[in-house]
Structures are given as structure tokens and as C-alpha cells.
């Protein structure tokens, strides 16, 4: 009996470590699901348009398959933050993973246009829940320094998954038709199972030596006091999404319309976004918060200016790489900033609103850029946006970003 007891005692720590690694795997791989949201469908949009009848109406329906997912994230991320505060991050994450799997793979058997669009909207809602709950749990599991690195790794994994998932989706779509790439959303089931088996986040930082800020009582006014950050997020992500919403039109206007070439050029943004996210944990301690923001905004501006002034495909690729690098830094900078600034009692809501505003930048990009294109042309629009980003970078460098005490004091007093 004593031998059996000792074996059980020795096995318990090993089992605990396994569950902890499953937790890290689940939280880190959530970024892959977000990367697959759009990239898994993009290669089969023409075939999907043909399924919907072809012509302008079919093309519009296929494009709406992409658009409604963005609307789902916008609608779902903020309520997910509110739900995390009341039900806990683990339950919201597991429920969102289940919903992601069911709605993402629904196209394997759905035919109707309305049903498919509805499933994609639900997929966006689930993605909003996944990204909000996973980032909240990362903030609870790690201290300030460690979570910056972990968020960087997770965002880098998501960017890589977006590129590789797009390639794999193209292969699957060519071999088995437009439905086949939707099977990639079955990855959500694997993360759901690992999440069920993983250790629970107990609410305190477990790694690193940093300290958490003291909890503060705050309600909606505490989140509202963060409006300068959210305004900056909205403006920055209008520019980050220039690559996905405007670059293909820029290339077409200058004689490059091959989907393979366009896809290759756009992949530069995703790959360098992975580099930017991965390097954040090393760059931020050296430069400081204000300079990281200034650097990211400068890179966004430089990329837009390069693409607007030199319209050859090679320079467009360079511009995409620069904007991707800046966007990768921002993908980690803003969640870390809100974790450090928002009171603990409203942190989940603050992070949920972050992702609502972030994807709102994608939605409003055409409305912001259209007047510039109408007056300056598409090249001039890129140059104008780049100039605005240069001015924003100078302002961030001069003011030190959001690193001062004024905002923190306003939030604590709200």
C-alpha cells in the first residue's frame, strides 16, 4: 500500500505540470483560431460566389461571408468582457470554443445563403469571446513582463496560422471544392478538449517578478475614462487594415491583378506582423512604452508612404512588410497597456471593448479612405495616411505615449 501511495504522490506533480502546459497551449493557440477566421475562406471566395449564382450578386454574397464575421466580432467582444466579469474567463472561453467549432464547420453541410451568413456571424461572435476571454486569462496567469512576452508569442502564432491556413485552404479548395477549407475550423474542437483538461487559472500572476496593480472599484466610468486609448486604437487600426482593404485596389490600379501575386504581396504584412508581435517583449523594455507606440505608428506611416510613392509590386511588398511590423507591435502594445491601466474590476470589459474598436477600424476603413481616394487618387490617399501617421508618431514620442500618470489618475478617480 505504501508503494502505491508513493507512486501516486510522484505522479500527481507530473499530472499537474501536464495540465499547466495544456493551459499554456490552449491560451497560446487561441490566436491561431483568430488568424483562421478570414484566411481560411479568402482563397475560395470565387468558388463560393459561383455557388451563390455568380455575377455581381454572387460576388456580393461571397464578400458578405467575410464581412459578417467582422460584424460578429464587433458585436460580440464587448459583451464577452462583461460576461467574463460575471461568469469567469474559463467558462466563456470554453463556451466560445464550442460555438466556434459548430458555427465554423457549419458550411460543410449548409447550402442556403442566409444560413451560411448567419453561421459566419455567429462565428464572429464566438471569435470575439475567444479573444477577449483568452487575453483576460493570460493577464490573470502571468505578471506584467511575462504576459507581454506570452501575448507576443500568441499573436505571432496567429499571424503564422493566418498565412499557412490561407495556403492550406487554397490546396483544400482546389482539391475538394469550396466547402473543404471550412473543416479547418475544427481546430476549435481540439482546443476545447485541451481547455477542458487544462489547469484552471487561479487569478494571480504565476510567472515573472512584476507586480499587479492594486484592485480599484470602478464601473462603466472607469472604462469611459480610457477613451483616449480607444480613439488611438480606432485611428491606428484604420491604417493597419489598409493592407487587407486597399492594397489590392492599389495593385490593380497599377496593372497587378493576379490573385497569386496579390496574395504573395499581402503575405508580407502577416509574416512581419508575426515578427513584430514576437519581438514586442524584447523591444518594449528597451525603448519604453511611449517609444514603442511611436515606432509602431512610424512603421505604419512609412509603409503607406512607400506604397503610395513607389507603385511597383516589389515596393508594395516592402510597404506591406513595414505596416505589418507596426501592426504586430500594436497587437501586443494595446492589450498590455489596458491590462496595466484599467482597474482590475473592469479589465475584462476594457479588453472586450479593445477588440470591438480594433475591428471597427476594419469596418470603417472604406468610409474613411473613400474621400481621400476621390480627391487625391489611391496613391495620394496612401501618402496622406502615411503623413498623418508620421505626425501621430511624433506626438507619441513627444508625449511619451500613454505612459504618463495623468490617464492613470483619471481612471482611478472615475
**Predicted pLDDT of residue 215:** 41
* Topology, domain 216-414: Growth Hormone; Chain: A; (1.20.1250)
pLDDT digit string, tens, across residues 362-392: 888 888 988 998 999 989 999 999 999 999 9
Amino acid 125: pLDDT: 97
Domains 19-148+170-203 and 216-414 share a fold: yes
Q: What is the pLDDT of residues 273-301, one digit of tens each?
A: 999 999 998 898 888 878 899 999 999 99
For residue 206, the 8-state DSSP code is -
Give the span between the Cα atoms of 143 and 211, in whole angstroms: 6
Per-residue model confidence (pLDDT) at position 145: 81
Provide the grid cell at 291: 517609444
The pLDDT of residue 8 is 38
DSSP assignment, residue 346? G
pLDDT single digits (tens) 122-133: 999 999 999 999
What does the pLDDT read at residue 3?
46
Confirm if 361 and 269 have CB atoms less than 8 A apart: no
Cα separation, 126 vs 73, in Å, equals 8
Please identify every stretch of the chain with a pLDDT value under 50, giving residue numbers as ranges: 1-11, 205-217, 404-406, 408-412, 414
pLDDT given at position 95: 96
pLDDT at 15: 64
Q: What is the CA radius of gyration of the chain?
A: 22
> For residue 37, what pLDDT is reported?
87
Transcribe 357-395 into DSSP letters: HHHHHHHHHHHHHHHHHHHHHHHHHHHHHHHHHHHHHHH
Q: Which residue, chain included where needed, has cell 516589389?
A: 314
By C-alpha distance, which of 399, 177, 377, 189 is closest to 297?
399
Cell numbers that stand for 391 in this block: 505626425
Q: What is the pLDDT of residue 216?
A: 44
Which CATH superfamily does the domain covering 19-148+170-203 fall into?
MFS general substrate transporter like domains (1.20.1250.20)
| pTM for the full predicted model | 0.85
Domain range annotation of the chain: 19-148+170-203, 216-414
CA distance 251 to 266: 11
Amino acid at each position: 500500500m505504501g508503494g502505491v501511495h508513493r507512486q501516486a504522490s510522484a505522479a500527481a506533480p507530473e499530472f499537474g505540470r501536464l495540465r499547466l502546459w495544456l493551459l499554456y497551449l490552449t491560451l497560446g493557440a487561441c490566436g491561431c483560431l483568430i488568424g483562421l477566421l478570414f484566411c481560411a475562406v479568402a482563397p475560395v471566395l470565387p468558388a463560393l460566389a459561383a455557388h451563390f449564382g455568380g455575377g455581381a450578386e454572387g460576388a456580393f454574397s461571397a464578400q458578405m461571408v467575410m464581412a459578417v464575421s467582422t460584424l460578429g466580432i464587433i458585436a460580440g467582444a464587448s459583451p464577452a468582457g462583461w460576461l467574463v466579469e460575471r461568469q469567469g474567463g474559463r467558462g466563456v472561453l470554453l463556451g466560445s470554443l464550442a460555438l466556434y467549432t459548430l458555427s465554423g464547420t457549419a458550411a460543410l453541410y449548409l447550402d442556403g445563403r442566409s444560413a451560411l451568413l448567419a453561421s459566419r456571424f455567429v462565428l464572429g461572435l464566438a471569435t470575439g469571446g475567444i479573444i477577449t476571454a483568452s487575453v483576460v486569462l493570460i493577464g490573470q496567469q502571468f505578471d506584467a513582463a511575462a504576459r507581454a512576452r506570452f501575448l507576443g508569442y500568441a499573436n505571432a502564432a496567429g499571424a503564422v496560422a493566418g498565412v499557412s491556413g490561407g495556403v492550406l485552404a487554397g490546396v483544400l479548395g482546389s482539391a475538394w471544392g469550396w466547402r473543404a477549407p471550412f473543416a479547418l475550423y475544427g481546430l476549435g474542437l481540439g482546443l476545447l478538449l485541451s481547455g477542458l483538461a487544462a489547469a484552471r487559472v487561479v487569478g494571480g500572476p504565476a510567472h515573472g517578478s512584476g507586480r499587479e496593480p492594486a484592485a480599484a472599484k470602478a464601473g462603466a466610468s472607469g472604462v469611459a475614462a480610457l477613451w483616449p486609448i480607444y480613439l488611438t486604437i480606432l485611428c491606428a487600426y484604420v491604417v493597419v487594415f489598409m493592407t487587407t482593404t486597399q492594397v489590392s485596389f492599389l495593385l490593380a490600379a497599377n496593372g497587378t491583378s493576379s490573385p497569386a501575386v496579390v496574395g504573395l504581396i499581402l503575405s508580407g504584412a502577416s509574416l512581419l506582423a508575426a515578427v513584430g508581435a514576437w519581438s514586442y517583449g524584447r523591444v518594449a523594455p528597451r525603448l519604453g512604452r511611449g517609444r514603442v507606440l511611436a515606432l509602431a505608428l512610424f512603421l505604419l506611416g512609412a509603409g503607406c508612404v512607400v506604397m503610395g510613392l513607389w507603385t511597383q509590386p516589389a515596393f508594395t511588398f516592402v510597404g506591406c512588410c513595414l505596416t505589418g511590423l507596426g501592426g504586430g507591435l500594436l497587437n501586443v502594445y494595446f492589450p498590455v497597456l489596458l491590462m496595466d491601466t484599467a482597474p482590475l474590476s473592469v479589465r475584462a470589459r476594457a479588453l472586450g471593448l479593445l477588440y470591438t474598436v480594433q475591428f471597427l477600424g476594419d469596418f470603417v476603413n472604406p468610409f474613411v479612405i473613400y474621400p481621400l481616394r476621390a480627391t487625391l487618387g489611391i496613391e495620394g490617399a496612401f501618402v496622406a495616411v502615411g503623413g498623418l501617421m508620421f505626425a501621430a508618431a511624433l506626438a507619441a514620442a513627444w508625449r511619451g505615449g500613454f505612459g504618463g500618470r495623468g490617464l492613470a489618475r483619471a481612471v482611478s478617480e472615475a
